[in-house]
């Protein structure tokens, strides 16, 4: 799989996080790309989130670079806005592009001042090391409690030629995307306008990042950016637009699922399907309520076929339904029919639930055709260990 044309990448250790591994990354597009972003819905928003949003607005959806640091969220700090701006100014000057063409991103601890000199001083060497092949270096530099880097790729042969899509993301805790989550950067060399990009990104986010949860906490820094620089010279035809959107959505869905697989302390990947709801939004709310129930998540951790917790969690979603018309399957086995226990072998199902992949399906009979898939992980002692000691 080839990387999109027209992008260069670099990463380095700038001394922002304590341990000596890369914490500063840069993605540069030339020519400048059309760009769209989706951002956290948390009322408390990090300085780089606010500035990226502003830059996209000032530039009318043009971007030359994504600047990202790990180890500090640059959120709820005295100097946050000034730090984000100083970093963008320094990068813009060295890259000879407008300041509004730099999209800043940060991830890490909240409420600790970020020294702008760490970034500004690291920029000259960072920029001189830019390379078309160092995509994975940036994917590594953005990680925090992640155990593995997360990337996904697609190539698409269109009527006028080939376009490439490459995405990277990070995150394993404070994960419950609402409109966006964590950090995700998707770049393509297709030629698309900013308005189209925004629509594609909004719908693709709804199908991917907005369908995962690790712990039900929505971060202050969640950002997904989609850049299209047109370096392939290929503009999709109108009839090819759905193909392109599907490819972007698939890349983003792969990235989102990787976050769940790497969920803090996770031992199992859980797919929750809800069908037969009034509409897709109702189905998604029920699926999210099941995904966020600590009792469901701990039962899965213990390979316990406790479907009573699933139906109880569904009942807390705030969606009207008749409990007597609920069917639930686990690992493809009927465990609940019409709201009561189906006949199944508890021992068999328990052994199937030892699998690292768990599938829960809930059907509402007679409500409609709304459906949704949602991905989450189990809740284990590992999650507690990681988060009782993350900061100090």
Q: Catalytic residues, which ones? A: 181
How far is residue 169 from each of residues 142, 153, 223, 339, measured CA to CA in Å?
8, 12, 10, 39
All residues at 6 or more sequence positions from 66 whose CB lies less than 8 Å from its CB, including other chains = 25, 26, 27, 103, 105, 185, 225, 227
When asked if residue 155 is in the footprint of a second copy (CB under 8 A), the reply is no
Q: Are 255 and 208 in contact (CB under 8 A)?
A: yes
Binding mask 70-89 for a second copy (x = CB under 8 A): ---x-xxxx-----------
- Here the tokens at position 37 are 């972003």
The residue from 68, 266, 313, 362 that contacts a second copy (CB under 8 A) is 313
When asked if residue 15 is in the footprint of a second copy (CB under 8 A), the reply is no
The residue from 6, 32, 35, 45 that contacts a second copy (CB under 8 A) is 45
Binding mask 188-227 for a second copy (x = CB under 8 A): ---------------------------xxxxxx-------
The residue from 58, 148, 340, 345 that contacts a second copy (CB under 8 A) is 340
When asked if residue 323 is in the footprint of a second copy (CB under 8 A), the reply is yes
* Least spacing, CB of residue 347 vs a second copy, in Å: 9
When asked if residue 312 is in the footprint of a second copy (CB under 8 A), the reply is yes
Tell me if residue 118 falls in helix, strand or coil: helix
The residue from 121, 246, 254, 304 that contacts a second copy (CB under 8 A) is 304
Q: Which stretch binds a second copy (CB under 8 A): 130-138, 198-206, 236-244, 317-325?
A: 317-325
255-294 binders of a second copy (CB under 8 A): 292-294
Report how far residue 279's alpha carbon sits from residue 315's, in angstroms, rounded to the nearest whole number.
Answer: 17
**Secondary structure letter of residue 131 according to DSSP:** B
Radius of gyration over alpha carbons of the chain, in Å? 22
**What order of strands is seen across the sheet that includes strand 333-337?**
212-213, 370-377, 269-277, 357-364, 326-330, 333-337, 340-341
Q: Which stretch binds a second copy (CB under 8 A): 68-76, 140-148, 186-194, 246-254?
A: 68-76
When asked if residue 368 is in the footprint of a second copy (CB under 8 A), the reply is no
Is the backbone of residue 340 left (phi > 0), alpha (psi -120 to 50) or beta? beta
The residue from 145, 341, 368, 373 that contacts a second copy (CB under 8 A) is 341
When asked if residue 161 is in the footprint of a second copy (CB under 8 A), the reply is no
Report how far residue 241's alpha carbon sits from residue 302's, in angstroms, rounded to the nearest whole number.
Answer: 45
* Least spacing, CB of residue 255 vs a second copy, in Å: 22
The residue from 15, 98, 193, 308 that contacts a second copy (CB under 8 A) is 308
Q: Are strands 24-39 and 223-228 parallel, antiparallel or unpaired?
A: antiparallel
- Give strand pairing partners of 68: 25, 105
* Least spacing, CB of residue 282 vs a second copy, in Å: 12
Q: Which stretch binds a second copy (CB under 8 A): 22-30, 62-70, 111-119, 195-203?
A: 111-119
Binding mask 222-261 for a second copy (x = CB under 8 A): ----------------------------------------
Nearest Cα to Cα of residue 212 among 107, 148, 291: 291
When asked if residue 352 is in the footprint of a second copy (CB under 8 A), the reply is no
* Least spacing, CB of residue 389 vs a second copy, in Å: 5
When asked if residue 173 is in the footprint of a second copy (CB under 8 A), the reply is yes
Q: Could you give the angle at the alpha carbon of 65 between the alpha carbons of 62 and 66, nearest 5°?
A: 110
* Least spacing, CB of residue 146 vs a second copy, in Å: 16
Nearest Cα to Cα of residue 142 among 167, 119, 168: 168
Compute how many other C-beta atoms are within 10 angstroms of the C-beta atom of residue 54.
13
- Here the tokens at position 92 are 């813009």
Nearest Cα to Cα of residue 77 among 108, 120, 38: 108
User: Whose Cβ is closer to a second copy: residue 63's or residue 349's?
Assistant: 349
Please state the separation of Cα 77 from the chain's center in Å. Answer: 24
Q: Please give the residue ranges that form the binding site for a second copy (CB under 8 A).
A: 42-45, 73, 75-78, 109-113, 173-174, 215-220, 292-295, 298-299, 301-309, 311-317, 319-321, 323, 336, 339-341, 346, 350, 379-381, 383-385, 387-392
């Amino acid at each position: 799989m080839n990387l999109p044309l027209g992008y260069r990448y670099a990463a380095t250790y700038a001394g922002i996080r304590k341990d000596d591994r890369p914490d500063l990354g840069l993605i540069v597009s030339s020519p400048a790309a059309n760009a769209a972003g989706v951002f956290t819905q948390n009322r408390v928003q990090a300085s780089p989130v606010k500035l990226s949003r502003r830059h996209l607005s000032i530039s009318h959806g043009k971007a030359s670079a994504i600047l990202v640091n790990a180890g500090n969220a640059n959120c709820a700090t005295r100097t946050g806005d000034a730090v984000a701006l100083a970093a963008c100014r320094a990068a813009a000057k060295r890259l000879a592009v407008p300041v509004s063409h730099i999209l800043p991103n940060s991830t890490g601890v909240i409420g600790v001042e970020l020294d702008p000199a760490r970034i500004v001083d690291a920029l000259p060497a960072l920029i001189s090391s830019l390379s078309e092949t160092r995509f994975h270096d940036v994917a590594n530099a953005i990680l925090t409690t992640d155990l593995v880097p997360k990337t996904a790729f697609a190539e698409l042969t269109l009527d006028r030629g080939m376009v490439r899509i490459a995405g990277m993301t990070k995150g394993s805790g404070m994960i419950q995307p609402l409109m966006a989550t964590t950090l995700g950067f998707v770049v393509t060399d297709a030629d698309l306008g900013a308005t189209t990009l925004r629509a594609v990104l909004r719908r693709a986010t709804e199908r991917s990042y907005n369908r995962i949860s690790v712990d039900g906490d929505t971060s202050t820094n969640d950002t997904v950016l989609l850049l299209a620089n047109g370096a392939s010279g290929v503009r999709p035809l109108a009839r090819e637009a759905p193909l392109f959107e599907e490819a972007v959505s698939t890349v983003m869905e792969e990235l989102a699922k990787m976050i769940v697989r790497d969920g803090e302390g996770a031992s199992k990947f859980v797919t929750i399907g809800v069908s037969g709801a009034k509409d897709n939004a109702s189905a998604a709310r029920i699926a999210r309520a099941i995904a966020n129930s600590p009792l469901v998540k701990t039962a899965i951790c213990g390979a316990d076929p406790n479907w009573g917790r699933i139906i109880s969690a569904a009942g807390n979603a705030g969606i009207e339904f008749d409990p007597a018309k609920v069917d639930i399957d686990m690992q493809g086995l009927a465990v609940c029919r019409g709201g009561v226990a189906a006949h199944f072998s508890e021992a068999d199902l328990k052994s199937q639930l030892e699998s690292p992949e768990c599938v829960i399906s809930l059907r509402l009979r007679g409500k409609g055709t709304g459906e949704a898939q949602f991905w989450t992980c189990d809740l284990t002692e590992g999650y507690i260990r990681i988060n009782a000691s993350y900061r100090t």
